[in-house]
Amino acid sequence: MRTRFLPAPERRGSALVFSVMSVMVVSILAAGFLQLSMSVTRRLNVYSDTQQAINLAEAGLAEAYSGLAVARTGNVGTMEAPAVLGGGLLWVEAEHHASGLVELECTAMYGTGRATLGLVCEPVGLGVASLGFFTDEDLRLNPDVRLDSYDSKVSTYADQLNTALNNKGSIGSNGDVSVASGNTIMGDIVYGPTGQLSVASGSVITGGSSARPEEEVLPPVVVPDIPLQKAVKYTGGIPMVVPPGQAGYAGLDIGKNSTLILKGPLDLVVNSLILRLGAKLEFDTTNGPVQLFVNESLDFSTSSVVSTSTQVTSDSLIFVAAPEGKSVNFGAKSQFYGFIYAPNADVHISAQYELYGGLVCKELQLAAQGKMHYDLSLGATLSGQLPILHSWRVVELPQQVAARRIDPFQLLGLDPNDLLPPAQSHQDQVLDVRYVDTSGRTTSYFGLESEFDWSQVGSLLYGVRDGIAFYLPEDYALSGDVANDPLVDLVDSSLSSKQLRDALLAASPCSTEALVAACLRDPPMSQSDLKSVLDANDPLAPQTLLSAVTSPSLDSSALKDVLLDNSPLPTEVLDAVLLRNPPLSPSDLTKVLTIQ
């Protein structure tokens, strides 16, 4: 009996054990299926998010690339303040290379997806020439210097004097800009990011002034690889002619009263170039441009003469590759139509070396009473021209982006509501625009773009970012929308009342348009400043007097003095005086009427 019951305890629970084992097998299977399903789902989600990120990165590249066509920098957002789009975020970093190529890299994050895409492109028509007159270090102008502009494609400088085109000079520096007494700056001044602008009394600046958002990088001069012949000291009576093609000299020393003619198309490399007393240098660009590369030193003595056969400024180019600290001296008598580029050199220009074109150098010593006229045709005019795309690529993810595949807003600690869309995330720039506002008034702005309200613009007349025109209709110079008198721009600028008074007094006699603008200025000039300007411009034209009557700057007494100084008054002015609101005081009115 005992043996019958002995197996019982072993069999007890065997079905349960079997069940539990079955459950375990089933559970393992289920877990396996679930795990596979989950891992595939996770990979799919990462794939889906990555596709989103790729398309957002494409959006960022499109934003930056098309931005370059309108003189933007190509930088859109930053990792700290990215742009938000389509539920993800992105930022674009632009690197401008000395070769003129721009490398854009856009990183986008969406959910767990990350993508960095890059492209290399070449913005059209950009170059250092668009900087106008520019120094890498502080720019200190000597007294009585005139810097202005013209457009050689339109007509001669003389024809454009005191027109709108004469008033678009571009003066810039990576450091401070000091404007001395008697300086006439017909255009804008853009000083360095940490620099300052100091304006001496008695100077005129017709444009605006602003700090540039970041320093300009001046690419080094790339000297063509041309073998150098031994140095030549030329003292002959007949001109020495360097024929078209390529030529190189260890040195060219043009002796007293000798002549050197450079016949284009020519690339000439010299270690040093000296023009002695009475020596002449002629850039003959009739058949093509002349590019002069100077490796070491350049010295045009005071009584030498430099000339260009044409007035095409892009055809006579002087590149100075002299090492840092070297000085180059443009002391010659000249009306030089061309462009000088000396990124490492200190450039000395005499008052008799009148430059039509552009100048970019490390330091500039422009003698008192010197004149330089920036040729607008040298400047970049993009007008929406797209950069040339050289290549596109998928870039390896930056380390800090590749790590931690979690929601990017959480990862970067950002609130999407605080972020701006790509179009509003471009890097800040100095903006110079003239436009018709929504109320139909033609006006202009010069300053940081972030401080400009584009919504007040009805239509654009021209637009410039960091010295590069992004909107410049071909007929803009002929358009009646553009002020003909640069002093009107001066009145419209952000100068203080006192600065404006000094400028207008220095420029007096002023045009009627400028005086009318001064009377109606918003914000108004102070009464004493306006009165000084009006007094300096007696007798005043009827339009000026009419504006003075309605000017918010003049009270009854000041207006009475102006009217008395210009009496007898034309009938329409008297009518305006009688209708003035607020009216003149009875005593002032009596005095005005009595003297008529």
Q: Which parts of 65-104 interact with another protein (CB under 8 A)?
A: 65-66, 69-70, 83, 85-87, 97-99, 101, 103
| Binding-residue pattern over the window 202 to 241 for another protein, x denoting contact by CB under 8 A | ----------------------------------------
Please say which residue, 51 or 78, places its beta carbon nearer to another protein.
51
Contacts of 5-8 with CB under 8 Å at 24 or more apart are none
Please say which residue, 29 or 579, places its beta carbon nearer to another protein.
29
478 vs 590: CA distance, rounded Å: 47
Encoding tokens for residue 129?
């020439």
Shortest distance, CB of residue 262 to another protein, whole angstroms?
29
Please say which residue, 161 or 457, places its beta carbon nearer to another protein.
457
Query: Which listed residue (59, 179, 401, 472) binds another protein by CB under 8 A?
Result: 59
Shortest distance, CB of residue 141 to another protein, whole angstroms?
32
Q: How many residues bind another protein (CB under 8 A)?
A: 79
* Three-state DSSP state, 400: helix
Shortest distance, CB of residue 21 to another protein, whole angstroms?
10
Are residues 290 and 306 in contact, defined by beta-carbon separation less than 8 angstroms? no
Strands 232-234 and 252-254: parallel
Query: Which of 272, 355, 360, 372 has the alpha carbon at shortest distance from 316?
Result: 355
Handedness of CA 478, 488, 208, 78 (dihedral sign): negative
Shortest distance, CB of residue 198 to another protein, whole angstroms?
32
Are residues 536 and 500 in contact, defined by beta-carbon separation less than 8 angstroms? no
* Three-state DSSP state, 58: helix
Of residues 319 through 348, those in contact with another protein by CB under 8 A are none
Please say which residue, 182 or 422, places its beta carbon nearer to another protein.
422
Query: Which listed residue (48, 303, 508, 526) binds another protein by CB under 8 A?
Result: 48
Handedness of CA 551, 557, 559, 562 (dihedral sign): negative
Distances (CA, A) of 370 to 1, 123, 180, 181, 403: 132, 34, 12, 13, 59
Residues with Cβ within 8 Å of 454's Cβ and at least 6 positions away in sequence, in order, are none
Shortest distance, CB of residue 86 to another protein, whole angstroms?
3
* Three-state DSSP state, 118: strand
Query: Which listed residue (5, 158, 439, 475) binds another protein by CB under 8 A?
Result: 5
Shortest distance, CB of residue 394 to another protein, whole angstroms?
6
Q: Under the criterion CB under 8 A, does residue 43 sit at the interface with another protein?
A: yes
Encoding tokens for residue 400?
């800090």
Query: Which of 289, 254, 288, 251 has the alpha carbon at shortest distance from 269?
Result: 251
Please say which residue, 48 or 257, places its beta carbon nearer to another protein.
48
548 vs 533: CA distance, rounded Å: 12
DSSP state of 150: E
Query: Which listed residue (193, 245, 421, 583) binds another protein by CB under 8 A?
Result: 421
Shortest distance, CB of residue 48 to another protein, whole angstroms?
5
Stretch that binds another protein, among 202-210, 303-311, 369-377, 452-460 (CB under 8 A): 452-460
188 vs 376: CA distance, rounded Å: 13
132 vs 212: CA distance, rounded Å: 14
434 vs 524: CA distance, rounded Å: 20
Of residues 113 through 172, those in contact with another protein by CB under 8 A are 118-121
Handedness of CA 96, 100, 101, 104 (dihedral sign): positive
Shortest distance, CB of residue 497 to another protein, whole angstroms?
31
14 vs 19: CA distance, rounded Å: 8
Of residues 16 through 35, those in contact with another protein by CB under 8 A are 16, 18-20, 22-23, 26-27, 29-30, 33-34
Please say which residue, 121 or 171, places its beta carbon nearer to another protein.
121
Displacement of CA 201 from its chain's centroid (Å) = 26
Of residues 377 through 396, those in contact with another protein by CB under 8 A are 384, 386-395
Phi, psi of 199 (to 5 degrees): -120, 120
Distances (CA, A) of 171 to 50, 80, 88, 254: 47, 33, 41, 33
Please say which residue, 109 or 340, places its beta carbon nearer to another protein.
109
Stretch that binds another protein, among 14-22, 178-186, 337-345, 513-521 (CB under 8 A): 14-22
Q: Under the criterion CB under 8 A, does residue 402 sit at the interface with another protein?
A: no
Handedness of CA 491, 492, 497, 499 (dihedral sign): negative
Shortest distance, CB of residue 358 to another protein, whole angstroms?
24
Shortest distance, CB of residue 34 to another protein, whole angstroms?
6
Q: Under the criterion CB under 8 A, does residue 422 sit at the interface with another protein?
A: yes
Shortest distance, CB of residue 265 to another protein, whole angstroms?
25
Please say which residue, 9 or 323, places its beta carbon nearer to another protein.
9
Please say which residue, 116 or 309, places its beta carbon nearer to another protein.
116
Shortest distance, CB of residue 405 to another protein, whole angstroms?
16
Of residues 455 through 474, those in contact with another protein by CB under 8 A are 455, 457, 459-460, 463, 470-471
Q: Under the criterion CB under 8 A, does residue 498 sit at the interface with another protein?
A: no
Task: Kindly compute the dihedral angle of the four CA atoms of residues 407, 411, 413, 417, in this order, to the nearest 10 degrees.
Answer: -20
Are residues 339 and 314 in contact, defined by beta-carbon separation less than 8 angstroms? yes
Query: Which listed residue (256, 454, 478, 575) binds another protein by CB under 8 A?
Result: 454
Please say which residue, 118 or 467, places its beta carbon nearer to another protein.
118
Shortest distance, CB of residue 77 to another protein, whole angstroms?
12
Shortest distance, CB of residue 215 to another protein, whole angstroms?
20
Q: Under the criterion CB under 8 A, does residue 63 sit at the interface with another protein?
A: yes
7 vs 251: CA distance, rounded Å: 117
